[in-house]
Amino acid sequence: MTSNWFVSMAYFVVTVVFILGLKAMASPVTARRGIVWAGFAMVAATVVTFFIPGLNNVGLMVAAIVLGGGAAWWSGKVVKMTDMPQMVAIYNGMGGGAAAGIAAVELVRGAEHDAVTSTLLVLGAIIGSVAFSGSCVAFAKLQGLLNKAIRLPAQNNVNFFLALATFGIGLTVGYSAAPSGFEIFLFFVLALALGVVLVLPIGGADMPVVISLLNAFTGLAVGFKGFVIGNPALIVAGIVVGASGMLLTQLMAKAMNRPIKNIIFAPITGAAAEGGEAVEGTMRELSAMDAASLMRYGQKVIIVPGYGMAVAGAQHKVWEMAQLLEEAGVEVVFAIHPVAGRMPGHMNVLLAEAGVPYDKIFDLEEINADFAQADVALVIGANDVVNPVARTDKSSPIYGMPILNADMAQNVIVVKRGKGAGYSGIENALFYKDNCRMLYGSAQQVVGEVIQNVKALEG
């Protein structure tokens, strides 16, 4: 009795700390502290679990924690910042897989549950399996192992009937007193296949939203499993993560001006990306010296980072350049689009790592009106988030998507590795405008050359 009371009270304290940690993550200033709080809360919840009366398989639990914790510690130390989206995707998938694993154990045990618990067991198994296999596909896309979106014939019909079959067999298994091993196996095969089929057609332009959505799925699956096994810590943590993940997904979908259902069932890829009016004109190139002169003798420069900056690992060089310009009396700020990069907050994380102060980083709504007063908009590896066809071309797949108004600056300099289209496959009309010039090359190398030329101008 005393032990049960201790565990319940400990879970309550852990839950409060976990929620406070999530709240702290809402601001860049307190995000690090929030992550530390939430991490310690999860460690405490794990330790407290060992005090539950009648706990079995303690040795296996300890071995799993040591192996899993060791792998996580090692990967967290060696992973590059440019690979962080892949890491987030696969770790998120592990959470969904764990929830599905708990459901599998409960089904194999054949434990009797009431109707509500059985329903949540099946839903958690499906959602967790979809989150796991979908996150694995997302990882493969982000890692470059799967370089193109794959859309099946009659894709949405396949999605519907596969989901229907999965739910049907799931309910049969969940409400059966003694489901056979084959039924359980078939159920999880279909659930895992559903996750693969749902994410395969989705292209890179939608990947940040998909990662956020899969994160929400994992949270819900964990919450349902907490209800099934009677663990309040899992219930609260899972539902909080699921709710916050779904809210983030809705905010990002709004930032793209695309309903979530369109992202899943009508992704920007393949033929869809080829829509829109043909872009006419010629891309004009400039030298690193010209770029340095435009920025050094301007009054305000707005830097728009994108995935190209992440790939090149150029964030430190970019901040070094910004500091040189500031020392010369130029105002320099950073503009971040909500879906820039390959995961939510990707650019913010990179800039924070480079030491860029939070008060120099502005979101789309805060900075867009300033572009018209900027002497230079420096776009580094970004594409779709600055494409003006989102305002003008109703036939474009990204029409209506809020963009950063980089094209309204007096001069636009675009750092880009080549002349190809962006990750979504949509041609960018900005690159052909009269006030835009292209600076070709890897972002780190190009920005390094600009830095040398700024220093030369100072000398």
As a whole number, mean pLDDT of residues 322-349 equals: 87
* Beta strands across the sheet bearing 331-336: 361-363, 331-336, 300-305, 376-380, 411-416, 436-440
Q: How many CB atoms sit inside 10 A of residue 366's CB?
A: 12
If phi > 0 it is left, if psi is from -120 to 50 it is alpha, else beta; for residue 54 that is: left
Are the C-beta atoms of residues 126 and 193 closer than 8 Å to each other? no
Domains held by the chain: number:
2
- In this structure, the answer to whether residues 292 and 266 fall within a common structural domain is no
As a whole number, mean pLDDT of residues 158-185 equals: 88
Provide the residue range defining the domain that includes 373: 288-458
Q: Check if 384 is active-site.
A: yes
Whether 6 is covered by a domain: the verdict is no
Looking at 238, 271, 304, the residue that finishes a domain is 271
- In this structure, the answer to whether residues 376 and 235 fall within a common structural domain is no
Whether 47 is covered by a domain: the verdict is no
As a whole number, mean pLDDT of residues 17-28 equals: 83
- In this structure, the answer to whether residues 101 and 198 fall within a common structural domain is yes
> Does residue 370 carry a pLDDT above 90?
yes
pLDDT (0 to 100) of residue 2: 47
Whether 178 is covered by a domain: the verdict is yes
Q: How confident is the model at residue 335 (pLDDT cuts 50, 70, 90)?
A: very high
pLDDT (0 to 100) of residue 272: 47
- Residues 52, 56, 62: CA angle, nearest 5 degrees: 90
- In this structure, the answer to whether residues 92 and 216 fall within a common structural domain is yes
Q: At what angle do helices 84-109 and 346-354 cross, to 10 degrees?
A: 130
- In this structure, the answer to whether residues 298 and 429 fall within a common structural domain is yes
User: CB within 8 A of 46, min separation 6: which ones?
Assistant: 65
For the chain, give the mean pLDDT. Answer: 85
Cβ-count burial 211-247 (b if 16+ within 10 Å, e if not): bbbbbbbbbbbbbbbbbbeebbbbbbbbbbbbebbbe
Whether 167 is covered by a domain: the verdict is yes
pLDDT (0 to 100) of residue 248: 84
Q: Where are the alpha helices (DSSP H) in 230-314?
A: 232-256, 260-265, 288-296, 307-312
Catalytic choice (83, 114, 375, 384):
384
- In this structure, the answer to whether residues 220 and 258 fall within a common structural domain is yes
Tokens of 413: 């300099």
- In this structure, the answer to whether residues 250 and 306 fall within a common structural domain is no
Per-residue pLDDT tens over the stretch 266-302: 665 544 445 555 566 688 889 999 999 999 999 999 9
- In this structure, the answer to whether residues 267 and 292 fall within a common structural domain is no
Per-residue pLDDT tens over the stretch 47-93: 888 888 878 888 898 998 999 888 888 888 888 767 778 888 888 88
Whether 198 is covered by a domain: the verdict is yes
CA 146 centroid distance within chain = 17
Q: Diameter of the chain by CA atoms?
A: 83
pLDDT (0 to 100) of residue 115: 82
Whether 45 is covered by a domain: the verdict is no
Per-residue pLDDT tens over the stretch 197-219: 988 888 766 777 888 888 899 99
- In this structure, the answer to whether residues 301 and 430 fall within a common structural domain is yes
Whether 277 is covered by a domain: the verdict is no
Looking at 271, 298, 318, the residue that finishes a domain is 271
pLDDT (0 to 100) of residue 205: 65
Looking at 271, 300, 318, the residue that finishes a domain is 271
Mean pLDDT highest for which of 253-257, 267-271, 296-300, 311-315?
A: 296-300
pLDDT (0 to 100) of residue 301: 95
Task: Report the DSSP beta bridge partners of residue 363.
Answer: 336
pTM score, whole prediction: 0.78
Q: Report how far residue 188's alpha carbon sits from residue 107's, in angstroms, rounded to the nearest whole number.
A: 11
Whether 382 is covered by a domain: the verdict is yes
Question: What single DSSP character describes residue 134?
Answer: H
Q: How many CB atoms sit inside 10 A of residue 85's CB?
A: 25
Per-residue pLDDT tens over the stretch 128-167: 999 999 999 988 888 878 777 777 888 788 888 999 999 9
